[in-house]
Amino acid sequence: MTYQQTLDYLFSQLPMYQRIGPAAYKANLDNTLALSRYFKQPENTFKSIHVAGTNGKGSVSHMISSVLQQAGYKTGLATSPHLKDFRERIKINGRPVPKSYVRDFVSMHRTFFETLQPSFFEMTMAMTFCWFAEQQVDVAVVETGLGGRLDSSNIIHPELSIITNIGWDHVKLLGPGLPDIAREKAGIIKDGVPVVIGKRQPELLHIFEERARLCNAPLYMADEIFSLCGHTHIDKGNYHAMKVDFETGGVALTYLTDLTGSYQTENLLTALSALKILQTEKKWEISSQSISQGLERVVANTGLAGRWQRIGRKPEIICDTAHNADGLSLVLKQLMAIPHARLHIVLGMVDDKDIASVLGLFPREATYYFCKPSVPRGLNAKELAMAASSLDLIGKSYMDVSDALVSAKKAASANDLIFVGGSTFVVAEVI
């Protein structure tokens, strides 16, 4: 099979959450453990860092990976979902897994896959661990796909566990309440492995404390290691960055980052705290220079895309993959702070979200261009427009994301602002 034929086979034959939603979720680790045995437990051949959370886990994973690369570690990075190419999920020092490896891996083990019938994510994690083991990475930063306790990544025994935050997402699978979601995320805490909690949520803290106590795992709150003092944006032609000020142990520190969403300040706090634990508790060699350079070059080092990404000027066009109420509320707050004449919003969603709670966050004074992302889970644009109109969000529906963005560009003047988002899949079609 060619690489494209291999992808067509994977997407069509293996249940894939990115395309079909909850039907692809396996509520146990049976297949994952069977794959591990079949491949002779490749996940045990390298050190790892495990990252879970409702929002920010992708950004935190990329930040830490970038810093470790700068520090000289051969660093694997496992993330999901992908935006444009499957290989974005599996990287070493920012380079995607080769097409030839993906093709040969599936071809060589296809008979076993068809016997076991794993999900797309279960197979992907097996491929990831095999590639990292074969390439002898020093460390792998592994992001959970969904949840934590029963996530296919949760067979690693990491050097450090990280939980960024807990919010309302995937409630049908992880809920129904925030405490239930927190318990699922807390499932990545392992015996004796330190854990960093990124966002202090007092009503949920006891869940992490209880799990950590049962596992004899040292628990650290990010805001007890670093304090966020403020941030500003720097925009000089082609150079666009955010300057963030912190304080730790009475020492003031300033970092630049090429991730310019204001919400990244919380993710920086989490990443810095995790790196501090690796330095002090695990005795990893990570210099202050490596941290500074790694944070300033996250996009350059890892290829992270779709986080408060500028894709056009005059009019300014911003896209962001935030897709739940917690994430979108922060994105929209920053969006409304940008000076503009008129606001245009290209909006698409998937059909398993709490549409009403998300739509309620959007400003009424914008002009909307409703669209359907090209995945089976995509919410019909006319249905989305109808739900939005009941909240006085007015606009037209379009056949696809491209048509919606073209129409927004035609209607916008140079001083207007266009935002594209609502779903990872919408952003994937415009970057």
Cis omega (within 30 of 0) on the bond before 176?
A: yes
Q: Which helix (H) or strand (E) holds 138?
A: none
Whole-number Å distance between alpha carbons of 17 and 22: 6
pLDDT higher at 431 or 275: 275
Whole-number Å distance between alpha carbons of 179 and 70: 37
- Top-tier CATH class for 309-428: alpha beta
Domains 3-224+262-290 and 309-428 share a fold: no
Confidence of residue 377 (pLDDT cuts 50, 70, 90): confident
* Per-residue CA distances from 259 to 34, 36, 120 (Å): 38, 35, 30
Instruction: Give 379-409 pLDDT, tens digit per residue.
Output: 999 999 999 999 999 999 999 999 999 999 9
Whether 146 shows a pLDDT value over 70: the answer reads yes
Average pLDDT over residues 48-60: 96
* 353 within 8 A of 323, measured Cβ to Cβ: yes
- What's residue 17's pLDDT? 56
How many other β-carbons are positioned within 10 Å of the β-carbon of residue 175?
14
How much is the mean pLDDT over the chain? 93
Residues in the chain, total: 431
Q: Which of 239-253, 299-313, 361-375 is predicted least confidently?
A: 239-253
* 309 within 8 A of 320, measured Cβ to Cβ: yes
Look up residue 14 and give its DSSP letter. Answer: S
Q: 3-224+262-290: which CATH topology?
A: UDP-N-acetylmuramoyl-L-alanine:D-glutamate ligase (3.40.1190)
Confidence of residue 75 (pLDDT cuts 50, 70, 90): very high
Residue 383's region, left for phi above 0, alpha for psi from -120 to 50, else beta, is alpha
Instruction: Give 333-376 pLDDT, tens digit per residue.
Output: 999 999 999 999 999 999 877 788 899 999 999 999 999 999 88
What share of the chain in percent tops pLDDT 90?
A: 85
Whether 213 shows a pLDDT value over 80: the answer reads yes
Beta strand extents in 313-352 (DSSP E only) = 316-319, 343-347
Confidence of residue 66 (pLDDT cuts 50, 70, 90): very high
Average pLDDT over residues 309-325: 94
Domain boundaries, the chain: 3-224+262-290, 309-428
Cis omega (within 30 of 0) on the bond before 118?
A: no
- What's residue 42's pLDDT? 98
Whole-number Å distance between alpha carbons of 351 and 359: 13
Whole-number Å distance between alpha carbons of 356 and 354: 6
